[in-house]
Amino acid sequence: MRTLSSALLASCLIAAPLFAQGAPAPAPARAPAKSPVSTSQGYLDAGQAELNRLLAEKPNNRKARNVIIFIGDGMGVSTLTAGRIFEGQQLGLDGESFVGEMDRLPHTALVKTYSHDAQVPDSAPTATAIVAGVKTRNGVIGVGPEAVENDCAASAPFKVQSLFGMAEDRGLATGIVSTATITHATPASAYAHTAQRDWEVDANMPAAAKAAGCTDIARQMVEWPHGNGLDVMLGGGRQHFIPATMADPEYPKAKGKRADGKDLIATWSAANPKGAYVWNSDSFAAVDPRNATKLLGLFEPSHMQFEADRTAAGNKEPSLAEMTTKAIAMLSKNRKGYVLMVEAGRIDHAHHGGNAYRALQDTVALNAALKAAMGAVDLRDTLIVVTSDHGHAFTMAGYPERGNPILGVVSAPVGTPTLAKDGKGYTTLGYANGPGAVSAAERSDPAKEDTGALNYRQQALVPLSSETHGGDDVVARAAGPKAHLFKGTIEQNTIFQIMRSALGFK
């Protein structure tokens, strides 16, 4: 994601949007710590156990039948660390030594995230690198670096094939799951080719682009020409698929956004008479994967709710874990295998809003989705990759004592705030820039505020309406066939090559 307007940030951040196969191979065993190690011998024993686990790992060089790529949008290393502590503390465990589901994956690499034309990327070129193997320009999806942003004709000759298109052309099943709009940059990279990532719906396109024959991203998803089309599509973005004259089924005062009058949901349903279209958690839960040939779920007019807001609202839309489980059940019916993308898209949105609570809660939700997948597949023939497209200007700093609440102020000992030179406290988590900064007035004292509140914005240094991405490396973790190739420091587009090689695609 790129810069959001202040109005969009406010609506995204504070309010809910208006709008198994065979016997699974066991995951590497690393039990979460219930309490900190307290002796020298305890640390030595824990280190020996870790060494024994590493020595026991054997490379899996088998061909993968399935690939699942999990993407935490904006989930940089600081988010991973803070998210781990946050999850452990929520469970009443020692957060610092807690072992989350992502931590259980045995193979790890650092990933360079720069795009073809920028030190700090947005999600469009990074997702294209991950699923199509090509670094490209900020702002474009599914086209090479020769493309020109916003120029349809100049970009059209440089379409790049995604792993999903390759899979469909070979008869495999394909699916995309996201908590963002299903037409957003990351999920769109699986199926779309566009000179502007914001062309999610035709109403967002300039007349010149339409005249040049450009197609909006929502239409590209429904009209995708590879194989028999995507088999599973679950996420937000209903408004991009229905005309501006049509009321939303969940929010009657809201309308669609299509200017061309097309009802793409009706078009998809007519083309897939045995497929299932759903828009809420009840209809989603009622879908039987044994009977439905395909599944389209659009659960909000815009992005799906943040996980913290979703649960507070009574679970009116499915969780990321529930969508992942259903997607695997649908795709597993194809004996040739499948390729599935699962994106925790709203980690990014919370960071843009300077709100660590929601970012970390959505990171926990991604861990839950990964755990669901690990319990549903056989790692002997399924490659699972967990990574991020980019990081954020999100910091974890100070000298808080062990066990200090991760959302709290820096304290040593716990309960005694450490004071800055202005005599005020400061939080462990913060942002280098964003809406949490003050441009003229004195900063408030976090030690006198509820920094653990859902809507609390961490303080930032540089005042911006939207916090920005970071250019630091991110982490890729993997298990299954060819997972051992994730090692050292790799280019982001190499992730595609490893997945392609695991599937045996030429």
Three-state secondary-structure class, residue 72: strand
Which of 4-18, 52-66, 384-398, 406-420 is predicted least confidently? 4-18
Residue 399 lies in a domain: no
Average pLDDT over residues 200-211: 96
Its pTM stands at 0.93
User: What token pair was written down for 447?
Assistant: 């030690």
506 confidence band (pLDDT: 50, 70, 90): confident
123 is catalytic: yes
User: What token pair was written down for 118?
Assistant: 């920028």
Residue 482 lies in a domain: yes
pLDDT at 15 over 60: no
Residue 275 lies in a domain: yes
Look at residue 391 in the predicted model and tell me its pLDDT: 98
* High-pLDDT (> 70) share of the chain, %: 93
Return d(Cα 302, Cα 297) in angstroms, integer: 13
pLDDT at 10 over 80: no
Q: Which one has a higher pLDDT value, 313 or 136?
A: 136
Residue 425 lies in a domain: no
CB neighbour list of residue 284: distance below 8 Å, 6 or more residues apart? 278, 297, 299, 317, 318, 322, 323, 326
30 confidence band (pLDDT: 50, 70, 90): low
Return d(Cα 420, Cα 337) in angstroms, integer: 56
Three-state secondary-structure class, residue 294: coil
Average pLDDT, the chain: 93
Q: Which one has a higher pLDDT value, 431 or 1?
A: 431
Residue 132 lies in a domain: yes
Going 6 to 8 to 13 to 16, the CA torsion angle's sign is positive
* pLDDT tens profile 273-305: 999 999 999 999 999 999 999 999 999 999 999
Return d(Cα 223, Cα 268) in angstroms, integer: 9
Domain assignment of residue 331, given as a range: 6-26+61-393+468-503
Q: Say which amino acid occupies 273.
A: P
**CATH code of the domain containing 318:** 3.40.720.10
Q: Left (φ > 0), alpha (ψ -120 to 50) or beta: where does 40 sit? A: alpha
Nearest to 132 by CA among 492, 503, 401, 504: 492
CB neighbour list of residue 171: distance below 8 Å, 6 or more residues apart? 227, 334, 336
Residue 44 lies in a domain: no
User: What token pair was written down for 295?
Assistant: 């599944």
Residue with tokens 């493309």: 147
Is residue 2 within 8 A of residue 196, CB to CB? The reply is no
| Overall number of domains in the chain | 1
Is residue 129 within 8 A of residue 136, CB to CB? The reply is yes
Residue 437 lies in a domain: no
Q: Left (φ > 0), alpha (ψ -120 to 50) or beta: where does 292 sit? A: beta
Buried b (16+ CB within 10 A) or exposed e, 289-309: beebebbbbbbbbbbbbbbbb
* pLDDT tens profile 155-167: 999 999 999 999 9
Look at residue 38 in the predicted model and tell me its pLDDT: 87
User: What token pair was written down for 165?
Assistant: 């298109």
Residue 241 lies in a domain: yes
φ, ψ dihedrals at 423, nearest 5°: 80, 10
Return d(Cα 176, Cα 178) in angstroms, integer: 7
Look at residue 2 in the predicted model and tell me its pLDDT: 52
Task: Choose, from 123, 162, 178, 411, the residue flagged as catalytic.
Answer: 123
CA 35 to chain centroid: 31
Return d(Cα 260, Cα 90) in angstroms, integer: 48
CA 469 to chain centroid: 14
List Cα–Cα distances, 388 to 43, 186, 494, in angstroms.
31, 10, 14
In the sheet that holds 232-236, the strands lie side by side as 276-278, 295-298, 232-236, 173-181, 338-344, 66-72, 382-387, 474-479, 107-112, 489-491
